[in-house]
Amino acid sequence: MQINLNNVGKRYNREWIFRNCSYQFKSGTSYAITGSNGSGKSTLLQVISGSLTHNEGSIEIKNAYQPITAEKLYTHIAIAAPYLELVEEMTAKEMLHFHAQFKPLISSVSIETILQTVGLKSATNKQIRYYSSGMKQRLKLAQAFFSDTAVLLLDEPTTNLDAEGIALYQQLVADHVNNRLVIVSSNDQQEYAFCEQVIKISDYK
């Protein structure tokens, strides 16, 4: 998988969030987008994911040198972010089954094992509306890390997690990022310390 940004820019009204951003992302490499709060790093991640449109430049996404259309992009990308909502009327088990209808989960791991891995086994059949913020974040991480996708996007991935949850995140990274294209948006080094390349959003202002 390869994602090429060619002089990409995003603005809201007349204010440019970032501009002239050119970068090449490749499978098997982990990248961090860093910057202060409100600097635009999450916006850049959302532009890469296809959930926000850019105002200038172009984005080219290829898999085995074959272009991927915008309509099919979601099947290749998994994302965990604080602003993504869960269906709170569902249980965790129902949520993962629902998610798998649109994006397959790793076939070698059962949903029961996934929930046990992220510490939600005892809450498997509990409606998500009754989860704590930390439990919801664990479920978001489970959804992203265990999706069978070539690209993994993580936006402030340890939001609402305690020390045990942060250790879980770091274990998921150790076990599930090999050969994937991983991009982390964060200003917290413990979230992106494993990344080989660091992109400063301030360089594109």
Q: How far is CA 94 from CA 71, 125, 126, 138, in A?
A: 25, 8, 10, 15
Question: Residues in the chain, how many?
Answer: 205
Would you state the pLDDT for residue 69? 81
**DSSP-assigned letters across all residues of 111-149:** HHHHHHHTT-GGGTTSBGGGS-HHHHHHHHHHHHHTB--
Distance CA 82, CA 85 (A): 8
Rounded to 5°, angle at Cα 185 from 180 and 190: 90
pLDDT, residue 65, reads 75
Which pLDDT belongs to residue 72? Answer: 83
Q: How many CB atoms lie under 10 A from the CB of residue 192?
A: 22
Residue 204: per-residue pLDDT: 95
Q: According to the model, what pLDDT value does residue 164 have?
A: 97
35: left (phi over 0), alpha (psi -120 to 50) or beta: left
**Alpha-carbon distance 197 to 203, whole Å?**
14
**2-204 maps to CATH 3.30.1330.40:** no
Tell me, what's the pLDDT at 63? 87
Check residue 44 and give its pLDDT.
97
Q: In 3D, which of 126, 32, 133 has the Cα closest to residue 82?
A: 133
Q: Quote the pLDDT of residue 165.
A: 97
How high is the pLDDT of residue 29? 97
Q: What is the pLDDT of residue 67?
A: 86
pLDDT at 80: 97
What is the mean pLDDT, run by run of 10 residues, along the chain of 205 residues? Answer: 96 95 96 95 95 95 84 90 94 96 93 98 96 98 97 97 97 95 97 97 94
Provide the 8-state DSSP code for 105: B
